[in-house]
Amino acid sequence: MEELKHFKKISDYHKIANLSAPLHPLISLVDYSKVRYPDTIGDLQWVQDYYTIGLKRNIPYKFFYGQQEYDFDEGVMTFVAPNQKMSLAGNPNVTAKPSGWLLLIHPDFLWNTALAKGIKKYDFFQYSVNEALFLSEKEEQMMISHLTNIRNEYEQNIDKFSEKIVVSQIELLLNYAERFYERQFITRKISNYQILEALDKVLLDSFSKDSLAEFGIPSVTTVAERLNLSPNYLSSLLKSITGLSTQRHIHDKLIENAKEQLSTTPLSVSEIAYNLGFEYPSSFTKLFKNKTELSPLEFRRSLN
C-alpha cells in the first residue's frame, strides 16, 4: 500500500477520478459511470475532508471504510463522513458497467446553516460496512431525483437563495435516508436478532472473572468492535429492537452479575466491585443504586 493520501478539496477527487473540474468548489454530484480511476487505485489509501453520499450499482471495486468493507450485494446507498480512512480494491466478481451517483459535500458549504451541526445527528454516516442502505426501485428513483435537484440548483446562476435551497434539498435527502434505514432495521429482524444473540455471547465472555480482571468493564466501543460493527450503528440497531442502548445492555449485564454474586456468595461489596472491574467500590455502589434503587447491601438484606 502507498502512503496515506489526504484529499482536502472536492477537486482532488475529480482529479483522481479523471473528471473535469467541479462546477462548484464545495459541492459536486458525480455521474459514477464517468469515473475512471487509475490502474494503481488499488494501492491507494486516503482520508478526505468532505462528506460523500453514494448511490451506486455494479461497483467494480471493493470499498473499504476504516478497516472494513462496504457490502453492495443488497444495499446501494452509502454515507461517509469526513476524516475517515478509505481504500479501494478490485472486485473480480463484478463485470457489469458501474452506474449511479456520488454527491460530495464539503463542510464549508454548510457553514452558517443549521445543517452544519445537524448533519452530525445522522448516525448512518458512521454505520458498519454491511449496512449500505437498501432501496426499492421507487425509493431509488426518489433519491436520484433529490440528488439531481441538488445538482440542478448549484449549476444555476448563484443568487441569495441558492445555498438555502441546496441545503434544504440535502436535508430532505438525509431525512428520507433516515426513514429508510429505520425501515431496514425493522424488516431485517432475523439477522438483527442474530446480532442480539452474538451480543449476549460477547457480554457473557466480557463479564467472566478472567476477562474483567484483565480488561475491566467493557466499553461500547469494545463491544461493537467484537461484533464488527460501529458503535453508533450497534446502538441504533439495539434501540430499534429492544429500546435500549448498547451502554444500557452493558449495565444490565453488569447488574445481573452483581446480583448473582450478592445473592450466592459471602463476598463483601468491595470484593464484588473489584471482581466486576471497578477501581473504586463507591462507583459500583452508585451505579447499582441508580439502576435498582437499592444499595448493594440493601439488596442483599432484601433477600432475607
CATH topology of domain 190-302: Arc Repressor Mutant, subunit A (1.10.10)
Query: What backbone phi and psi angles, to 5 degrees, belong to 85?
Result: -75, 135
Domain with CATH 1.10.10.60 in the chain: 190-302
Contact by Cβ (8 Å): 238, 224: no
pLDDT digits (tens, 9 = 90+) for 170-229: 999 999 998 988 887 666 654 566 777 788 888 888 887 777 767 788 899 999 888 888
Span 4-133 CATH architecture: Sandwich (2.60)
Mean pLDDT of the chain: 83
Helix axes 162-187, 231-242, angle to 10 degrees: 60
Check pLDDT > 50 for residue 102: yes
pLDDT digits (tens, 9 = 90+) for 121-136: 887 886 544 567 888 8
pLDDT, residue 288, reads 92
Domain with CATH 2.60.120 in the chain: 4-133
pLDDT digits (tens, 9 = 90+) for 12-40: 999 999 999 999 999 999 999 999 988 77
pLDDT digits (tens, 9 = 90+) for 62-93: 776 654 565 555 458 888 888 877 777 766 66
* CA–CA distance, 14 with 84 (Å, rounded to integer): 18
Torsion sign over Cα 118, 248, 293, 296: negative
pTM metric for this prediction: 0.63
